């Protein structure tokens, strides 16, 4: 018996799932690691124009599951755009788009702010308070301190993204909650993000993976800064977990101080580790797949099978009840990239 996907859609606090079922053409959700906002798109048959238009800024949540089982939260955000299209001969369609961050909110508003001798957590939370967003920072990054932090007509969103780049982190906003996680780490709480299996003959639909790439790989990353106490240039180095690489990558920019250079070198090292291989895999729909988690490929072939870090997740449902999850993969680990035969 063929499984059917089920969904629950709430807009502005109302469950509209029953009204959507006879009208749904497709439902898509994209969940990405890092600075990109999560998105959703609901396409509906609007032949008779019977649905009331939602307002931009309305809260929207979507839960997904399989018939006979539970539904799990897959998206939370706000309505960003409602679009109608049609023609005299082709009928009408209505598209509702949502984003994980409120695009009308104060998070995009430029701020004038400075803090002296403050931690990363203090600076982000001060800027976040103005934007109406609370911030959780990875414990390994939270207590990094700098002599000065500042925003000069920079929005909270841009500030968070800049700090993440400088410290080797990942910044993301979902609703009124922002996180700064360590790149290549687990959840902000320090726990693991979990894993999903993609097994040929079980739930793996297709894959397109290059487990080894040469160009992005380096053995270490070097970043330069000016040591004011010693009145000379100095460097910070970060090793890359890649036994096959030989080249050293030098940061293009001089950094303000030792901590800034250390963060830049660490960020470059994590990027080199992530980019040494990857691709995509499509599996039967599951909300268990999360950006930052691990996908275990099995049964594809020796050298490809193994663990990969999930960079983004895209859910696609159709009116026939089908549901697939496409994973963008990076950072091959373990046996991935090695054919031991």
| 45, 161: one domain | no
| 110, 177: one domain | yes
pLDDT tens digit at each of 341 positions of the chain: 478 999 999 999 999 999 999 999 999 999 887 656 789 999 999 988 888 889 988 999 999 999 999 999 999 989 999 999 998 887 899 999 999 888 888 888 999 998 999 999 999 999 999 999 999 999 988 998 888 898 999 999 999 989 988 888 888 888 788 888 887 665 544 445 678 999 999 999 999 999 988 778 888 999 999 998 899 999 999 888 887 788 999 988 888 888 888 888 888 888 888 888 899 999 999 999 988 889 999 999 999 999 999 989 999 999 888 999 999 999 898 888 887 77
pLDDT tens figures, 67-104: 999 999 999 989 999 999 998 887 899 999 999 888 88
Element (H, E) at 198: strand 195-199
Q: Show the domain range for 229.
A: 220-274
In the chain, the number of structural domains is: 4
| 237, 254: one domain | yes
Task: Give the pairing type, strands 24-32 and 39-45.
Answer: antiparallel
The three-point CA angle 250-253-257 to 5° equals 100
Residue 56 belongs to domain with CATH number: 2.30.300.10
Q: Which residues pair with 134 in a beta bridge?
A: 177
Element (H, E) at 238: strand 232-239
pTM value? Answer: 0.85
Q: Would residue 45 count as lying in a domain?
A: yes
Q: Would residue 44 count as lying in a domain?
A: yes
d(CA 11, CA 16): 7
Query: What token pair was written down for 108?
Result: 């995009």
Q: Would residue 133 count as lying in a domain?
A: yes
| 199, 288: one domain | yes
pLDDT tens figures, 277-290: 899 999 999 999 98
Q: State residue 184's pLDDT score.
A: 67
Alpha helices (H) along the chain: 17-20, 120-131, 139-142, 156-167, 258-274
In the DSSP assignment, the letter for residue 49 is -
Q: Would residue 187 count as lying in a domain?
A: no
| 206, 323: one domain | yes
């Amino acid at each position: 018996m063929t499984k059917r996907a089920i969904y629950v859609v709430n807009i502005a606090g109302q469950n509209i799932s029953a009204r959507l079922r006879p009208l749904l053409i497709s439902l898509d959700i994209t969940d990405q690691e890092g600075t990109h906002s999560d998105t959703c798109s609901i396409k509906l048959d609007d032949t008779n124009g019977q649905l009331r238009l939602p307002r931009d800024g309305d809260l929207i949540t979507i839960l997904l599951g399989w018939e006979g089982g539970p539904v799990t939260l897959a998206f939370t955000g706000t309505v960003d755009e409602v679009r109608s299209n049609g023609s005299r001969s082709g009928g009408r369609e209505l598209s509702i788009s949502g984003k994980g961050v409120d695009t009308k909110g104060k998070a995009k508003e430029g701020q004038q702010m400075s803090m002296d001798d403050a931690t990363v957590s203090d600076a982000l939370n001060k800027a976040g308070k103005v934007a109406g967003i609370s911030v959780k920072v990875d414990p390994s990054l939270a207590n990094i301190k700098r002599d000065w932090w500042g925003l000069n007509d920079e929005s909270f969103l841009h500030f968070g993204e800049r700090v993440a780049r400088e410290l080797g982190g990942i910044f993301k906003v979902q609703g009124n909650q922002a996180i700064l996680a360590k790149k290549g780490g687990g959840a902000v709480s320090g726990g693991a993000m979990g894993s999903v299996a993609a097994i040929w003959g079980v739930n793996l639909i297709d894959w397109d993976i290059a487990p080894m790439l040469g160009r992005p790989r380096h053995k270490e990353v070097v970043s330069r800064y000016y040591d004011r106490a010693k009145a000379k240039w100095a460097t910070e180095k970060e090793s890359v977990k890649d036994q096959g690489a030989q080249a050293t990558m030098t940061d293009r920019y001089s950094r303000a101080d030792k901590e800034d250079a250390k963060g830049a070198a660490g960020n470059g090292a994590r990027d080199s580790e992530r980019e040494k291989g990857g691709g995509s895999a499509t599996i039967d729909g599951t909300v268990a797949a999360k950006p930052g988690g691990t996908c275990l490929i099995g049964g594809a072939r020796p050298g490809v099978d193994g663990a990969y870090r999930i960079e983004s997740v895209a859910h696609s449902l159709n009116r026939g009840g089908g549901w697939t999850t496409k994973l963008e993969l990076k950072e091959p680990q373990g046996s991935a990239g090695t054919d031991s035969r």
